[in-house]
Amino acid sequence: MPKLTIDGKEIEVEAGTNLIEAAQRLGIDVPHYCYHPSLSIAGQCRLCMVDIEKTPRPTIACNTLAADGMVVHTQTDRVKETRRSMMEFHLINHPLDCPVCDQAGECWLQIYYMQHGLYEPRMTDEKVHKPKAVPLGPHVMLDAERCILCSRCVRFCDEVTGTGELGIFNRGDHSEIGLFPGQDLENNYSGNVVDICPVGALTDRDFRFQVRVWYLDTTKSICPGCARGCNIDVHVNRKRPHHAAGRRVARLKPRFNDAVNAWWMCDVGRYGFAFVDDPSRVTSAQRRDGTQLTDTSLDEAVAAVADALRRYAPDEMAILASPDQSNEDLFALKRLCEQRGIRNVAFRVPQAGTAADDDFLLRADRHPNTRGAELIGLDGDAAGILAAARGGRLKFLWIFDHDLLAGDARAAEMRQALERVEMLVWSGTNANATLALAHRVLPLAAWVERDGTFTNFQGRVQRFRAAVEPLGEARAGWDVIGRVLSASGTPFPAARAEHWFRELAKTVPDFAGLSYQGIGDVGAMVVGAAPTTAPTPPGKRAGAKVTA
Amino acid sequence: MAEIVLMRNFERPGSHTLAVYREHGGYAAWEKARQMEPAALVEEVKQSNLRGLGGAGFPTGAKWSFIPKNHTGPVYLVVNADEGEPGTFKDRYLLEKDPHALIEGMLIAARAIRSALGFVYVRGEYVQPWRRFSAAVKEAYDAGLLGQGFDIVVHRGAGAYICGEETGLLSSLEGKKGWPKIKPPFPAIKGAFSQPTIVNNVETLCCVPPIVSRGAAWFAGLGSKTQGGTRMYSVSGRVQKPGVYETSVSVTLRRLIELAGGVSHSGRLKAVVPGGGSAPILTADEIDVAMDVDGLRNAGSMIGSAGVIVFDETASIPEALMVLARFYAHESCGQCTPCRESTGWIYKMVHRIVEGHGRKDDLDTIIDVAKRGAGTTICAFYDGAVGPYISYIQKFRHEFELLCRS
Amino acid sequence: MTASAPQFSAEQLAEVRRLQGLYPDRRGALLPVLHMAQDTFGYVSLEVEEYVAGLFGLSAAHVHEVVTFYTLFFQQPKGRHVVAVCHNLSCHLAGAPEILAHVKARLGIEPGETTEDGRITFQAVECLCACEAAPMAQIDDRYELNLTREKVDQLLEALR
């Protein structure tokens, strides 16, 4: 393990560590653009120069491996002057788009110019002009003038997705990032190129002109789009709501987790949060009055459900839980079932249409907590429950999230079945056709509005966190169920999700020993599950199709 | 009069054919080399003081010795026939008039570095030389000289000066844009197709058969203290008899200009570019310099590809800089930031100056920008641009200032 | 594939495979095959790029990178003849600007353009390394040396 000195501090690193990484471990930032830990070394931006003793000229840090006895200086006058020079080179043809560029505030040209540039610009000739506002597929917008040609996006499409859509065409200062004319950036990871673009060349079409980034708050969370549970940050706009047209969640960004998703998230998850602020959100409890559903108070709805649970015999009752619910929600449900003796509980409702794994992160199972629902013991006979409804043997059915009438060929039959249930209760975030049949509706808070954990398909328990307040009377599942338990005379232990998790960890053996603190920001495996690493990206597998 | 080595066959009709080449001693050196150990061949070339004649002037024997000794996979010999340095045309002559000399040089070099596969990268515009050389390769195959442990693939470029940079050439050979590779690793460790590779210039390899035939000491003695042999100087511009001239590498620039018939047009010398477009310019007072690698380096310029371009009194230095600045802007591969962005900008400034819209501080800006970029790029292309950017303005500043308004 | 999509003949495909076999990685044959494609189809259109990409298992974007990088690949139809006049240093000193102006006047087009009748594409190019015979041009596969206005007229006249 080479031992080297950087800015007077000694450090020992694994063989094969480059100087940017080595410096980072000491908390020393070496400015750079083209380097990215997941991608091959490009050595193009020339910004990461450092002084190494016994080397006559400054050297790029990204392509220099730590060697035993190496002495590195990142703050010499010569290095500082070189950085200033490199900033000038980068800005020669860069358009002064800051006032209209989404990247402002998180732009590495701005940041490094303020840190290392601060020179008077002297380029007074006409800058090179290139295409602006070019859509690259449904999610990404290209501004070729702003591009600093670091090639991260090109290398991403080659080495991560293995799809090779992007290239750098022409040469000299007419070099240009682009797609093959007529093609689209259509892989399921296109949004990631926006993350890795250091400047405003590649921006998110969904986020375009929404809100300035310095107004955003960030919360660590987990994407609920599939059973992978990619780690993410939720960026919300609370400070400038008048810019957001009612949209509180501004965007989602992947959060690095070596064991799950590395640096990436798929487009399905990234752009799948529109439902959170959609007008179809259910924000108040509802009760059926004849053929209409009218608003009621949550307390009234809770009382009605608790009453129904007392009236009916256990075998006349059933619950269709949802694998979109958190471990806490599902455990509370399990408690409720035990308390009332309900054994007809299931969550695997047959879905309309088939989803598939993609060849990287996205799982065919588009639910974040199937594994949690299995481990907590809610994997009953959904078909049997639906058969009982059709046969008129169900008096009480509480459906979480599912839309049993969605696009199914047998929707008419299902409608009849549900209409035979004396007390149909529906809980979920967004109104659907099944809700319209319910006698009581108890609204649920969306994942960005509450705390909780999901268990991914590999058995990793990961925390997601509330980033915004729930809308109206919508509440977390464990909260709603807890109120029902309370109204049924059973004190429920928790005012917070964490309390429910503690109960879960004490009760279900797979979760023994786990805690929110232990889960932290990277998650923890359930008992017996092997530790995981993020899958090898398609572009790096043997026989991958395209290389630059 | 120095001995003529490289151009010895040029005047013979049919010099490019195997029959004529063989008739005058061709492939005898190869026969001798086949009896020598690879290490002995490397040593012979080291002792000869042969230095690369494509531009960098690196000692050839030393380069050959960089191939890792314990490498078990393939080793490639790549010939840089992507001649493109302004003012240089010697390789074109060698390819057309003595292609078998190159083939023989390749055979010997391949033995020295234990290579079984050689690539000759011919610039795309050199159609006639490519045809000539390819015909010679076919003759060599038919005669059993090639295909018996060493194969040659002739590969045409497609128009890019940067493919004359050794790793830009390798990228192009691999079927990519001609983007030079970041170093380390160096080609001798990881070159073409990720294998150890030696890249040599056409003329450099043509020196190898004579070295083997007549010995390192002889070759070394033809030259200067630090560089052996003769070389072909391409002389053009304002001289009476532009052309290739072969002399000892110890020749002075003054003597070369004489050999080329002296200055034409006004007859009065103003300046000389001694080593191809990328070489810092020399004034008329600086021509008593030895035209070997170290001689010119010590004079603040470089011999490079030995392309000598002569300026007479009536030649405009600002125009010349504009022409070169345009060249560098056009040929920059665009891979790394300092070169990509500033070659275009500097051309705009020089063009503006020549058009009469320059400002005096443009001159200082050009020099400052060039100095800031020098030594920071992936390859030496930009340093080649910096040579003219700085030297033309520094040595002929008054001519530029006359064009500037303020 | 539609009838108008570019395609090599069986012999040409055999040649493509032969070329690919010469290189340790078949991608090395990309430049030779692109030359072949340009000779066959007249120029390298986007369709040709996609076709060639298919022969190499490369994305079309990466073939487009190569085609746009090198000056000898034409992405638009070119004239029956290409007249490329060098405007680099020694040719400049020998009067290249006058030669360029003369060609421009004779053909009525700027460098980079093609005559209306599709006869000639005119280019101003960088050093062709025939500086001893400046000013000079490359016309199709040939170098034409020591140009004068008169010689230019003769050469252009002969191009049909």
* Span B25-81, pLDDT tens digits: 999 999 999 999 999 999 999 999 999 999 999 999 999 999 999 999 999 999 999
Map A341-363 to HEC letters: CCCEEECCCCCCCCCCCCCCCCC
Could you read off the pLDDT of B337-384 as tens digits, one per residue?
999 999 999 999 999 999 999 988 999 999 999 999 999 999 999 999
Q: For residue A489, what pLDDT is reported?
A: 82
Chain A residue closest in CA terms to B329: A172
What is the average per-residue pLDDT within B177-196?
Answer: 97
Between CA C113 and CA C122, with CA C119 as vertex, the angle to 5 degrees is 30
Residue-range domain boundaries for chain B = 18-222, 232-312, 318-403
Cβ A528 vs Cβ A520: under 8 Å: no
Cβ count within 10 A of residue B34: 11
Pick from C25, C30, C49, C65 the residue to mutate for testing the A interface (most A CBs within 10 Å): C65
User: Cβ neighbours of residue B319 under 8 Å, at least 6 residues apart?
Assistant: B354, C92
Chain B residue closest in CA terms to C68: B177
Selected from 2.30.30.50, 3.40.109.10, 1.20.120.920, 1.20.1440.230, the CATH number assigned to the domain covering B318-403 reads: 1.20.1440.230
Pairing of strands A3-6, A59-60: unpaired
Q: For residue C48, what pLDDT is reported?
A: 98
Q: For residue A543, what pLDDT is reported?
A: 74
* Cβ–Cβ contact A172 with C under 8 A: no
Q: What is the sign of the dihedral through the CA atoms of A471, A472, A475 and A479?
A: positive
Phi then psi for residue B229, to 5 deg, are 90, -170
Torsion of CA B252, B256, B262, B266, to 10 degrees: -70
Q: Give the whole-angstrom CA distance, residue A263 versus residue A192.
A: 9
| Alpha-carbon distance C71 to nearest alpha carbon in chain B (angstroms) | 5
Q: With pLDDT > 90 as the criterion, what percentage of chain B qualifies?
A: 98
Alpha-helix runs per DSSP H in B164-262? 166-173, 202-214, 216-222, 253-259
Residues of chain C with Cβ-Cβ distance to A180 below 8 Å are 46, 49-50, 59-61, 64
| Alpha-carbon distance B307 to nearest alpha carbon in chain A (angstroms) | 25
Between CA B248 and CA B255, with CA B254 as vertex, the angle to 5 degrees is 40
Say which of A170, A171, A180 has its CB closest to residue C61. Answer: A180
Q: Give the whole-angstrom CA distance, residue A161 versus residue A360.
A: 8
Q: For residue A488, what pLDDT is reported?
A: 85
When mean pLDDT is compared across A233-247, A323-337, B144-158, C120-134, the lowest value belongs to A233-247
Q: Give the whole-angstrom CA distance, residue A521 versus residue B255.
A: 76
CB contact under 8 A, A546 and C60: no
| Alpha-carbon distance B243 to nearest alpha carbon in chain C (angstroms) | 5
Q: State the DSSP string of A142-180.
A: E-TTT-----HHHHHHHHTS----EEEES-GGG-EEEEP
C-alpha B87 chain-centroid distance: 10
Residues of chain A with Cβ-Cβ distance to B329 below 8 Å are 172-173
User: Cβ neighbours of residue C109 under 8 Å, at least 6 residues apart?
Assistant: C115, C122
What is the average per-residue pLDDT within C51-57?
Answer: 97
Selected from 3.90.1480.20, 3.30.70.20, 3.40.50.300, 3.40.50.720, the CATH number assigned to the domain covering A119-277 reads: 3.30.70.20
Q: For residue B406, what pLDDT is reported?
A: 67
We find that the CATH architecture of domain A3-91 is: Roll (3.10)
CB contact under 8 A, C61 and A182: no
User: Tokens representing A342?
Assistant: 């309900």
pLDDT averaged over every residue in chain B: 97
Query: In angstroms, how far is the first alpha carbon of chain B from the final one?
Result: 52
CB contact under 8 A, B159 and C132: no
Residue C2 has pLDDT above 60, yes or no: no
| Alpha-carbon distance C50 to nearest alpha carbon in chain B (angstroms) | 16
Task: Give this complex's ipTM.
Answer: 0.97
Say which of B343, B375, B376 has its CB closest to residue A172. Answer: B343
Query: Which fold is adopted by the domain B232-312?
Result: Ubiquitin-like (UB roll) (3.10.20)
C-alpha A432 chain-centroid distance: 24
Q: For residue A493, what pLDDT is reported?
A: 62
CB contact under 8 A, A44 and B337: yes
| Alpha-carbon distance C61 to nearest alpha carbon in chain B (angstroms) | 12
pTM over 0.90: yes
Same fold flag, B232-312 and B318-403: no
What CATH number should be reported for the domain whose range is A297-511? 3.40.50.740
Peptide bond into A323 cis (omega under 30): no
Say which of C50, C62, C69 has its CB closest to residue A171. Answer: C69
Q: Can you name the residues that pair with B198 across neighbouring β-strands?
A: B77
| Alpha-carbon distance B330 to nearest alpha carbon in chain A (angstroms) | 7
Would you list which residues of chain A are within 8 Å, Cβ to Cβ, of chain B? 41-47, 49, 57-58, 60, 63, 81-82, 85-86, 88-90, 92-93, 122-123, 125-126, 128, 148-149, 168, 170-175, 548
Selected from 3.40.50.11540, 3.30.70.260, 2.170.150.20, 2.10.50.10, the CATH number assigned to the domain covering B18-222 reads: 3.40.50.11540
| Alpha-carbon distance B404 to nearest alpha carbon in chain A (angstroms) | 15
Domains identified in chain C and CATH numbers:
10-69 (1.10.10), 81-157 (3.40.30.10)
Cβ B22 vs Cβ B14: under 8 Å: no
pLDDT tens by residue, chain A, 548 residues = 999 999 999 999 999 999 999 999 999 999 999 999 999 999 999 999 999 999 999 999 999 999 999 999 999 999 999 999 999 999 999 999 999 999 999 999 999 999 999 999 999 999 999 999 999 999 999 999 999 999 999 999 999 999 999 999 999 999 999 999 999 998 999 999 999 999 999 999 999 999 999 999 999 999 999 999 999 999 999 998 887 777 999 999 999 999 999 999 999 999 999 999 999 999 999 999 988 999 999 999 999 999 999 999 999 999 999 999 999 999 999 999 999 999 999 999 877 677 899 999 999 999 999 999 999 999 999 999 999 999 999 999 999 999 888 866 778 888 989 999 999 999 999 999 999 999 999 999 999 999 999 999 999 999 999 999 999 999 999 999 999 999 988 877 678 999 999 999 999 999 999 999 999 999 999 999 999 999 999 999 987 765 54
Residue-range domain boundaries for chain A = 3-91, 119-277, 297-511
Would you list which residues of chain B are within 8 Å, Cβ to Cβ, of chain A? 160, 162, 176-177, 182, 184, 329-338, 340-345, 348-349, 352, 365, 369, 372-373, 375-378
User: Tokens representing A50?
Assistant: 């450092």
- Report chain B's C-alpha Rg in angstroms: 21
